[in-house]
Amino acid sequence: MDPGFFKKSIPTLLFLMVFSIVGITIYYQLMSKNEKLKIYNPIDVNPKLVDISVKNIKKNHTISDFELINQNGKKITNEDYKGKIYIADFFFTRCQNICIAMAYNMAELQEYYKNDQEIMFLSHSVTPDIDSVSVLKKYAIEKGVIDGKWNVTTGLKTHIYDLARKNYFAVLDEGNGDENDFIHTEQFILIDKERRIRGFYDGTEKKDMEKIKNDIIILKKEYQ
C-alpha cells in the first residue's frame, strides 16, 4: 500500500477525532442542561399518604397558602417562602425515633446552605397542641435552628392536617382523634419556587441528603 496514503489520511483522522470529541462534549452539555426533576402530583404518591379529596389529581398540584407560628412566636406564611426553594418535613418534639435522625440531617443541610439565600427549611409539628411556641423555641435552640433560615412551626391542628395530607403527602391518616392521628413519615419534601413538589427523600438516610444536594443543583439550573 502506498505509504503516502497514511500521510494523507492523518489530517482526516485528526479532524474526525476532534469533531467526535467536540460533538460528544456538546451532547452531554445539552443533556445536562435539559435534565429536570420530576414534578409530583397526588396521583404519583402512595395513596395512603394522600387525602381522598385530591388523590386523583394528575397535574398542576401546588402547595396551598398556609399560616403557621414559628419558634419565635412569629406568623409564618407562604409569603415568607416566596421565590425560595425549600425543604419541608413533619415531626414532633417528643419523638424519640426517626425524628432524631431527621433533625440532625436537616441541621446538616441548614449548615450546608446557610449562606445560600435561595434555600430555606420548614418543619411542621404534628402535635401542635403540645408543641407550643416555648417548646419549639427550646427545641430550636437544641437543634441549632437559624432564625429566618429554618422555621419550626405549630398552628391549628386542622390546618396542619390539610397541609400534611392534601399538600405535602407526608403523614398517614390513622388514629381516633387524639394526638396520634398524625403518623408522620421520615420524608423530606423538596419544593420549588412555584410551590411544586420536586422530590421526596428519606430524612433519616445520609445518602438521601446527598441526593437532595444534587437535585437542588439540577433544580437551580431551571432558574438560570
**Predicted local distance difference test score (pLDDT) of residue 82:** 98
Report the amino acid identity of residue 21.
I
Prediction pTM value: 0.82
Grid cell for residue 181: 392521628
Give the angle subtended at the CA of 153 by the CAs of 152 and 158, to the nearest 5°. Answer: 150
Task: Walk along the chain (224 residues) in steps of 10 and give the mean pLDDT of each run.
Answer: 55 57 48 79 94 93 98 98 97 87 96 98 94 97 97 95 94 58 84 98 97 98 95
Do residues 171 and 131 touch, judged by C-beta distance below 8 A? Answer: no
Give the angle subtended at the CA of 62 by the CAs of 56 and 68, to the nearest 5°. Answer: 115
Q: How far is Cα 224 from Cα 219, in angstroms, rounded to an integer?
A: 10
**Predicted local distance difference test score (pLDDT) of residue 104:** 96
**pLDDT per residue over 164-197, tens digit each?**
999 999 988 664 335 555 677 899 999 999 999 9
